[in-house]
Amino acid sequence: MNPTIAAGRQAGLATDSLSVWLEQGRARRPIVESISLRVAPGESIAIVGESGSGKSVTARALLGLLPPELTSEGDVKVAGTSFLRLSEAARRRLRGNEIAFIMQDPFTMLNPVMKVGDQVTAALRGADGRKLSRAERRAEAVARLNEVGITDPAVVDKYPFQLSGGMRQRVGIAAAIAENPRVLIADEPTTALDVTTQQEVLKLLDRLRRTHELGLILITHDLRVAFATCDRVYVMYAGQIVEAGQTDAIRARPRHPYTAALLAAEPPLDHRVPRLMTIPGSVPSPGSRPDGCRFAPRCPYAVAACTSSPVSLRTTDESGTHRVRCDRADEITLVTDDMTGRPAAGAETVQPGDLLVKMRGVRKNFQDKVAVDGVDVDVYAGESVGLVGESGSGKTTLARMMVGLTRPSAGSVRVGGVELAAKRVSRQQWAMVRGLVQMAFQDPMSTLNPTRTIGSTLREGLRLAGADDLETATSELLERVGLPAGYARRWPGQLSGGERQRVAIARALSRNPRIVVCDEVVSALDVSVQAHILNLLRELQADLGLTYVFITHDLAVVRQITDRVYVLNHGKVVESGPTPDVLDRPQHDYTKRLIASIPRVEQ
Amino acid sequence: MTTAEAPVAARKRPGIPAGLLRYVLLRISASIVVMLVVSFVVFLFVHAAPGGPEYAIAGKLATEEQLANIRQIYGFDRPLLDQYWTYLGQLLQGELGESVIQRRPVAALLGEAAAVTVPLLVFTWVIALVAGVAIGVVTAHRAGSRVDRFALGMTTLAASTPAFVLGTVVAWFFGIELGWFPALGIGDGGLDTVAHLVLPATTMAIAVLAITTRISRVRIGQILAEDQALFARARGLGRWWTLRNVVLRNAGVQLITLSGTIVVSLFTGLILVERVFNLPGIGSLMVEAIHDQDMPVIQGVTLCAASLVVVVNLVVDLLCMLVDPRLRLRLESAR
Amino acid sequence: MTAVPHSTLTSSRSRAARLPVPRIPVLTTLAGLFLLAVAACAIFPGLAPVDPGAIDAAASLQGPSGEHLLGTDQLGRDMFSRIIAGARTSLLGPLLLAVGVTVVGTLLAVAAGYFGGRIDAVISRMVDLLYSVPALLVAIVVAGVTGGGFGITLAVLIVFGLPLHVRNLRAAVMERAHLPYMEAAVTLGLPTWRVVLTHLVPTIVPNMVATFFLVFTYGVVEFSSLSFLGLGSPPGAPDWGRMVSDNRATIFTNVWPAVVPAVAIVLLAVSTNLIGEYLQRKHDQARRQR
């Protein structure tokens, strides 16, 4: 083999001023700028950033697999050779062999029409370079799957669509590392998975790192995941690394205001804070990045000097491992969690009002699948109720039945006294229900009709609610959710994800409802944006006396926004009670497992 | 969503699973039902003809005596269903009636015409399919390049050109201006006939190539843009491996459907092209029969075309089932 | 479950999936002008400089000249005037076909895709059944059996042209039927017809436009093919397809009378195709900017 690898000194991966440009005709925009990072075999590093930071582009640049309109500059050293300067054929030999890659979505990464075993062993050759026999391939496949914790040999003959998401991700990992590469780049490998599965996959990656002497590059938007899994962390913002260092050092004392703000925006799991820390504004797009410090316009510590000239990455400690891209790093004291230990006043106990929603023995079948299996739920006026569970728990189906989007197969759903499970619900009754309960949805991209302006979307509900002066009412609604009145003339495509979710909430409010059902409204948003929306929802509740039904998989969010919670698993309520009780003293095994699976910032 | 589906019971015993077998039998019987319905409609042709069934059989110039005679032979005074049963019985014995004009069995006429049409059909089918997929692969790999845009422009042009226009242009340019190949007729057998078939085949191949190229370009482009293609590249798997195992396997269902679709559109196109090049194929037989109101021949050709469509669809459906495990396993796991 | 969008990558990934757009505005402009000219001829057949039926045996089979811009046919009729006179029939069939398929197709697609259930089952079965039946072939058979006629031919082409487009439009409807903004419109309390008309239909307008132009293009091909086979307009009529057929016999002596109408047919089909693509491209751009 290559002597440099044998020497071991240069094994792994290192980049030197890696930049990525977007070529648009004659225009050339930087997407990623001068990234320098390294990972040794057996070491794990994380690249953390929100959407728009350039972290996924970086991953593909490392592999030399950028889409045609993106070009890279700088160097990536793989096993001591300048990877990006090699011919495509030479690079292909190193891919899979020296560096491997797994992707975010296990449902699309694997070939749906090829058996799992064939996919895992596709790249394998015998010691003399010949093709493996059928029996050898099978044996290899069983062994490789065993390594990633799939012990059932029958899986070899299955197709990906017969496996669960977690299993597929394991198969993907087995396929990626089949040739025993030295570096594995994992691009959001657990984002599409449930928390319990997520933790298993992270543990697996950590184990493989040790057993296979694998250098792990974990790309993630989730600081908790990064801290829980990796030795070192690179924080990216707007195409640059803004902070890099040992996990412990950054966790103990982040030096960049952005890192600190990200940490603070993360809702804590173990206590409720009166107000989540937020970052004003949004991540600048590649064309509109500011000249000086990229973060300056959103930074509470920024001074005039910050915006004048580019800031370089510099060392902040004696050992030289902790680097930060902030000129004021030594002058400022960052606040990461100013609310620690102070429980939110008054929010914990709510005087129960009228019973608005009463569900009894509710069932819902989709063909032969049971989505909801005999559930009782009560919602009282003025409280905030959480429906928590992983995918397939039936929480969304339950919520949809509350607003009359899905008809229950059996049981009783009474909303404001109207039986929605009845054979016939009169027009007047529907009108009553629609005025009482409204819904906000998960996906910010499709929550607004792309063919209508924000204003026309909002006026629709206002008109139904019988508002007199639509113009004024629209402006008021927008201001209510923290958007300028001028947004009424905008199109959904001109808004960021967080802004769209605000409009979606405004639309729900346009009918003046008493209950708002929020279906995963923050789960597709970056953590800093999520904090904005959670704060907004709490303000609205306080000001308007709203009742919330909050559907989420995220227990930290549950802690922040709900008073009572129902934990759902496979269509059944396994546990319910006041939120602090359930989260602090879980009784059911499933709840315990759910809580234990959450990666923690603190360790 | 993420829960594993119940594992398909590991069968050691070879053979076709019950669910799959049931589907195949169901699909075949559905085809038979469709053919029965078609045969009934075709049977009704004589009754729908202008002037009534007697004229349809005897031709426009028949005398009153002949008409009465025909009424009697064919039993047009009997109940309709009765007549249909008789007709169906004859069909099942391969009895397609006799041409009013040529006074020869329709089956014989069809056989002679098929000798021209079928080789043309098979040849152009293979060419259009292979070349179309090849161009689709090349252009999809160079998405947005000059080659891609040129190929796309050509498919647009070809799709907008009726086969008879293309045929006329091809006949004039290669047949008359350049004089490379004979532009009209079928020739006198052997190599001469082959030479006569070159231009019609070229015409059809170009026309259908537009369809095959465009559809394979679109589908292959989709697959190349999928995560699985990137994942394969990131694993260092070669271009050929990806082409074979990712692109062609995933496009399998679409390509099979496509190959079925073009058989049918080739058949339609050949009706026109045979007219342009004066070839005595099934298309010409049909068009002449229409002009002569030769109803038995129209019926025969229609049944022929309908059988082609039904059989092609049956084969396509069964092949799709074979190449796509998602379709197959859903049936296998069904009891 | 969080879906973190990485916009730079997703937009570039779809590049292979999207067809390239021929970006030649000149061609689009020419296509538009040609369509306008054909439309003008169809509305005012009087634009023809000479009587398209006037026979002049002395001027048989002339090439293009100042007097006869596009030459004459075997009977000495002015090809230019005959092309103008044929514009109406050549445009009318495809136009009615495209309108018919788009309107009926959208109705069926919305019924099947939005309301689902039994309506969907019935419509989808019909579509499956008719899907692979070639419309042109059926039109030929029907014309042969019944003696033809514009109305019957149009009806056959619409019915057998529908399945593909019902299927496509239904897919587009189903893609949107349960998107959050549609469900939000329902929960807001809008009546169903308002949800369909003001939320669903506007979002599938691009699909309808695509259908319209595609069907129009095929309509040009199908109607002219029928005319060529002598199953459309009567012999001697100034129909483009018919003219190719009638003048085919003389291509050995003079190719013009056969080629001119053939080119007119292709130009009409290509032009609508180009305009359709142009509109789609504009829509894509507008959507990206919004």
Domain ranges in chain B? 17-92, 112-333
Q: Which helix (H) or strand (E) holds C170?
A: helix C150-177
Q: How many CA atoms does the CB half-sphere of A199 hold within 13 Å? A: 10
Least CB–CB distance from A111: residue in B2, B228, B233: B228
**pLDDT tens per residue across span C53-100:** 777 777 776 777 777 777 777 777 788 888 888 888 888 889 999 999
Does residue C69 sit within a domain? no
Q: Count how many domains chain C has.
A: 1
**pLDDT tens per residue across span C93-143:** 899 999 999 999 999 999 999 998 899 999 998 998 888 888 898 998 888
Which among A460, A490, A597 is the top mutation candidate for probing chain C, defined by the most C β-carbons within 10 Å of its own β-carbon? A460
* Both tokens assigned to A329: 């790093």
The dihedral sign for the CA sequence A395, A401, A407, A413: positive
The dihedral sign for the CA sequence A594, A600, B1, B3: negative
The residues pairing with A572 across neighbouring beta strands, listed in sequence order, are: A569
DSSP classification of residue A294: T
> Dihedrals φ, ψ of A81, to 5°?
-105, 155
The candidate with the shortest Cα–Cα distance to A98, out of A155, A181, A184, A205, is A181
ipTM of the complex: 0.86
**pLDDT tens per residue across span A35-67:** 999 999 999 999 999 888 889 899 999 999 998
Q: Note whether A193 contacts B2, CB cutoff 8 Å.
A: yes
| Residues C225, C240 contacting (CB under 8 angstroms) | no
Cα–Cα distances in Å, from B93 out to B87, B117, B177?
A: 10, 24, 49
Cα–Cα distances in Å, from A155 out to A145, A160, A163, B11?
A: 8, 9, 8, 14
Does residue C53 sit within a domain? no
What residues contact residue B213 under an 8 Å CB cut-off, 6+ apart?
Answer: B131, B132, B135, B136, B139, B151, B154, B155
Q: Note whether A101 contacts B234, CB cutoff 8 Å.
A: yes
Angle at B184 (CA atoms; ends B181, B187), nearest 5 degrees: 80
Mean model confidence pLDDT for chain C: 83
Q: What end-to-end distance do the CA atoms of chain C give, in Å?
A: 27
**pLDDT tens per residue across span A194-253:** 888 888 999 999 999 999 999 999 999 988 889 989 999 999 999 999 999 999 999 888
**How many whole angstroms separate alpha carbon A465 and alpha carbon A450?**
23
**pLDDT tens per residue across span A499-525:** 999 999 999 999 999 999 999 999 888
Q: How would residue B5 be classed by pLDDT, with cut points 50, 70 and 90?
A: very low
Residue type, position B169, single letter: V
Does residue C125 sit within a domain? yes
Q: Note whether B148 contacts C228, CB cutoff 8 Å.
A: no
| Residues B277, B183 contacting (CB under 8 angstroms) | yes
Q: Note whether C180 contacts A31, CB cutoff 8 Å.
A: no
Q: In chain A, what are the domains?
A: 3-230 (3.40.50.300), 256-344 (no CATH), 355-596 (3.40.50.300)
Least CB–CB distance from C189: residue in A51, A447, A511: A511
The dihedral sign for the CA sequence C1, C4, C10, C11: positive
Q: Note whether C19 contacts B290, CB cutoff 8 Å.
A: no
**How many whole angstroms separate alpha carbon A304 and alpha carbon A465?**
48
Taking only Cα atoms into account, the Rg of chain A, rounded to an integer number of angstroms, comes to 26
The candidate with the shortest Cα–Cα distance to B219, out of B246, B185, B187, is B246
pLDDT above 90 (res A600):
no
The candidate with the shortest Cα–Cα distance to A525, out of A264, A287, A235, A283, is A283
Q: What is the pLDDT of residue A2?
A: 42
**Which range, A319-333, A477-491, C135-149, is most confident?**
A477-491
Mean pLDDT of B115-139: 93
Is CATH 1.10.340.30 correct for B112-333? Answer: no
C108: how many CB neighbours lie within 10 A of its CB?
24
The 3-state DSSP class for residue A412 equals strand
**pLDDT tens per residue across span A66-79:** 988 889 999 898 88
Q: How would residue C230 be classed by pLDDT, with cut points 50, 70 and 90?
A: confident
Which of A450-454, B50-54, B163-167 has the weakest average pLDDT?
Answer: B50-54
Question: Which of residues A593 and A331 earns the better pLDDT score?
Answer: A593
Q: How would residue A130 be classed by pLDDT, with cut points 50, 70 and 90?
A: confident
Q: Note whether A94 contacts B236, CB cutoff 8 Å.
A: yes
Does residue C15 sit within a domain? no
Mean model confidence pLDDT for chain A: 88
Shortest Cα–Cα distance, A128 to chain C (Å): 37
C210: how many CB neighbours lie within 10 A of its CB?
21
The dihedral sign for the CA sequence B151, B153, B159, B164: negative
Q: Note whether C186 contacts A405, CB cutoff 8 Å.
A: yes
**pLDDT tens per residue across span B242-299:** 999 999 999 999 999 999 989 988 998 998 999 888 889 999 999 898 888 888 888 8
Chain C residue numbers with beta carbons less than 8 Å from the beta carbon of B302 are 141
DSSP3 helix / strand / coil % (chain B, rounded to 5): 75, 0, 25
**pLDDT tens per residue across span A437-460:** 999 998 888 999 998 999 999 999
Cα–Cα distances in Å, from B15 out to B27, B28, B176, C94?
A: 19, 19, 59, 52
Q: Tokens 């190959």 — which residue?
A: B259
Does residue C63 sit within a domain? no
Which of A426-435, B90-99, B220-229 has the weakest average pLDDT?
Answer: B90-99
| Residues A554, A377 contacting (CB under 8 angstroms) | no
Which among C4, C14, C178, C199 is the top mutation candidate for probing chain A, defined by the most A β-carbons within 10 Å of its own β-carbon? C4
Q: What is the pLDDT of residue C248?
A: 78
Q: What is the pLDDT of residue C22?
A: 54
Domain around C280: 87-245+254-289
What residues contact residue A250 under an 8 Å CB cut-off, 6+ apart?
Answer: A227, A233, A235, A243, A259, A322
Mean pLDDT of A491-500: 89
**pLDDT tens per residue across span A137-185:** 999 999 999 999 999 999 999 999 999 888 999 999 999 999 899 999 9
The dihedral sign for the CA sequence B312, B318, B323, B324: positive
Chain A residue numbers with beta carbons less than 8 Å from the beta carbon of B330 are none
Whichever domain contains C234, its CATH number is 1.10.3720.10
The 3-state DSSP class for residue C95 equals helix
Residue type, position A484, single letter: P
With CA atoms as reference, the chain B residue closest to C136 would be B268
Q: What is the pLDDT of residue C21?
A: 58
* Both tokens assigned to A477: 């609604």
Cα–Cα distances in Å, from B324 out to A65, A112, B4, B261?
A: 29, 9, 19, 18
**How many whole angstroms separate alpha carbon A218 and alpha carbon A48?**
8
| Residues C253, C61 contacting (CB under 8 angstroms) | yes
Q: Note whether A464 contacts C188, CB cutoff 8 Å.
A: yes
Mean pLDDT of A277-291: 84
